[in-house]
Amino acid sequence: MAQKKFVVGCFDEEKVLFPAVKQVRTAGYKIKDVYTPFPVHGLDHALGMRETSLHTAGFIYGITGTTTAISCITWIFTKDWPLNIGGKPHFALPAWIPIIFELTVLFAAVGMVMTFMWLCQMAPGVKKHHFHKRATDDLFVMVIECTEKTNADDLKALLASIGAVETDIQVAEEDWWFGTYDKENEILYKQVSH
């Protein structure tokens, strides 16, 4: 459980947000994240994030599905218990294509969703500190981590000057935890100044 200090700046327009991100980054601050109500096009590049490799994982899961299906059915119908079904050959690959395809898709989809949950640290009952209630409503919430060298009030002023509609300083739990929101929010979140 690591409590850290964060400066929070809330923006309400994309055209104000993007120049603000650029300015904060060139000023040398480390943006922890920007919490948005919907995926903002180009924001991940503006923040310097690397592309996700989730699709590669999906492909690998899919290939696993294909191989599982082909090898299992082949072993069952050519080695373990071959049957004479309407005189068709034991290795009837055309007949197995539907199942091979379905299993490919199933493994890829289930695998990708589980990987997505794992990477984003999401599961039923997982709690995280939410910096602003309206991050899922209509505000773009920029959160900057404070090191020892950061002057939080200067940073707050900078954010206000580049267009933030609300600024805040919060000391909060950085990681995720299990529990209930209302109870533990009291313990884990302190508002330091407005």
- For another protein, the binding residues (CB under 8 A) are 14, 33-40, 42-45, 47, 49, 51-52, 54-55, 58, 72-73, 76-77, 80-81, 83, 85-86, 88, 92, 95-96, 98-99, 101-103, 105-106, 108-110, 112-113, 116-117, 119-128, 130, 133-138, 141, 176, 180-182
* Closer Cβ to another protein, 81 or 148, answer by number: 81
Please report the sign of the dihedral spanned by the C-alpha atoms of residue 137, residue 138, residue 140, residue 146.
negative
Three-state secondary structure string covering the chain: CCEEEEEEEEECCHHHHHHHHHHHHHCCCCEEEEECCCCCCCHHHHCCCCCCCHHHHHHHHHHHHHHHHHHHHHHHHHHHCCCCCCCCCCCCHHHHHHHHHHHHHHHHHHHHHHHHHHHCCCCCCEECCCCCHHHHCCCEEEEEECCCCCCHHHHHHHHHHCCCCEEEEEEEECCCEECCHHHHHHHHEEEEEC
Give me the least distance between CB of 103 and another protein, in Å please. Answer: 7
* Closer Cβ to another protein, 149 or 180, answer by number: 180
* Closer Cβ to another protein, 112 or 158, answer by number: 112
Phi/psi at 140 (5° precision): -100, 115
In angstroms, the CA 159 to CA 151 distance is 13
Give me the least distance between CB of 120 and another protein, in Å please. Answer: 5
Give me the least distance between CB of 101 and another protein, in Å please. Answer: 6
* Closer Cβ to another protein, 110 or 157, answer by number: 110
Give me the least distance between CB of 151 and another protein, in Å please. Answer: 25
Give me the least distance between CB of 141 and another protein, in Å please. Answer: 8
* Closer Cβ to another protein, 142 or 159, answer by number: 142
Give me the least distance between CB of 140 and another protein, in Å please. Answer: 9
* Closer Cβ to another protein, 97 or 192, answer by number: 97
